[in-house]
Amino acid sequence: MVSQASRLADVRYDIRGPVLQRARELEAQGHEIIKLNIGNPAPFGLFSPDAVLEHVTASVAGSQGYSDARGILEAREAVTRYYTRRGVHGVTPDHVYLGNGVSELIVMSLQALLNPGDEVLVPSPDYPLWTGAVSLCGGRAVHYRCAEDLDWNPDVEHVASLVTPRTRALVIINPNNPTGAVYSRQTLLALLDIARRHDLLVLADEIYDQILFDGSVHYHVAELAPDLPILTLGGMSKTYRLAGFRSGWLVVTGPREPIAEYLEGLELLGNMRMCPNVPAQHAIPAALDGGIDITPLLLPGGRLRDQRDHAWELLTAIPGVECYKPAGALYLFPRLDPEVHKISDDQRMCIDLLEQQHVLLTHGTGFNLPSTDHLRVVFLAPVETLADAIGRLGTFLATYRQ
């Protein structure tokens, strides 16, 4: 018998757990499933512009060797220019680390930081890799509340109340997955102040920094707090629609001296994996310097904007369903009013929805939300598909009881 490492005992990643497993079984039986469960643009016909792909193709022959462990200089320079253009100062290619997606860099950044029992402040709801990776690295994710009645901004007083002598870092996911919130400047400044007062490393996941609706503004925390050590993460998966390339970056800003030892650890881990996939790194300069602009998809008449609006209207027309209209990212996070829909097990509800209506959504507790009254709907699909899926959800909810 081969048993599992005990360090995995507390690691949960339900968004790819039993609901997805059931979807696979139904597909194997020949059922067609409408999948609105993953923020993967390409299967919905949202592709990267040809110019990016052509640059990568032309670079393949020259990509046969390992690169610098931090990634190719050309791409790290492009990331440096990107943040400099956006008002973040003090970025240099030496402090840019490329990775096989933000996912790899999330795990590396925490592996280099945490000792057993160290605490990390993580939003609830969160993109659950953050919570899972903290546990994997022996730490404890302490969840701070993001409040629906504050347009899902973090409840700053709650964040402050959770700091203990074991707290090492503060995770900020902005724009947020799964809520679609884009945090106000005031909220961000208050969060940064907590980090400043308690000497916390700020880990800012800003992978959706360009996916914004209705004129909402995204602030890079690295711009707002140049005096703090901050790790900002971003990548090619969403704005540039290259999720399969597994290509992302981590940028260190602020004073280096207080985190010099930590950075040595990060370098060590970067060296141990040799380097990130080299051909995929070539997409970075092509996209960031190439003037690839996602805003046509986000403005009125643009595909993502239309899909968000249609999905939001259809969802909120279902009796007992309310939803914050997302200001960013690719997700709707509707609430099922417990007075109308009494759901005690939201994962069970998603499995029942799947079995009865062949629609795959993700349950709110999968994002470390403590209550069982939310669902996440990805709005990448064309309007007709969203209408079909949300229609089926309405039919399901009309009679569903737990």
User: Which residues form the interface with ligand PLP (CB under 6 A)?
Assistant: 39, 101-103, 127, 173, 177, 205, 207, 235, 237, 243, 248
| C-beta of residue 328 within 8 angstroms of C-beta of residue 180 | yes
Nearer to ligand PLP, 219 or 396 (CB): 219
What one-character DSSP code corresponds to residue 282?
T
Closest distance of CB 100 from ligand PLP, Å: 8
- Residue indicated by tokens 């039993």: 18
- Alpha carbons within 13 angstroms on the beta-carbon side of residue 225 total 26
Q: What is the C-alpha separation between 312 and 150, in angstroms, rounded?
A: 18
Nearer to ligand PLP, 103 or 357 (CB): 103
Residue showing the smallest CB distance to ligand PLP in the complex: 101
Nearer to ligand PLP, 211 or 343 (CB): 211
Closest distance of CB 134 from ligand PLP, Å: 14
Closest distance of CB 315 from ligand PLP, Å: 20
C-alpha closest to that of 223 among 83, 82, 76, 80:
83
Closest distance of CB 11 from ligand PLP, Å: 16
Nearer to ligand PLP, 229 or 235 (CB): 235
Nearer to ligand PLP, 139 or 235 (CB): 235
Closest distance of CB 102 from ligand PLP, Å: 3
Q: What is the C-alpha separation between 46 and 242, in angstroms, rounded?
A: 9
Q: How far is CA 334 from CA 139, 198, 378, in A?
A: 31, 34, 11
Closest distance of CB 77 from ligand PLP, Å: 20
What one-character DSSP code corresponds to residue 200?
P
Q: What is the C-alpha separation between 182 and 4, in angstroms, rounded?
A: 39
> By three-state DSSP, how is residue 146 classified?
strand
Nearer to ligand PLP, 129 or 160 (CB): 129
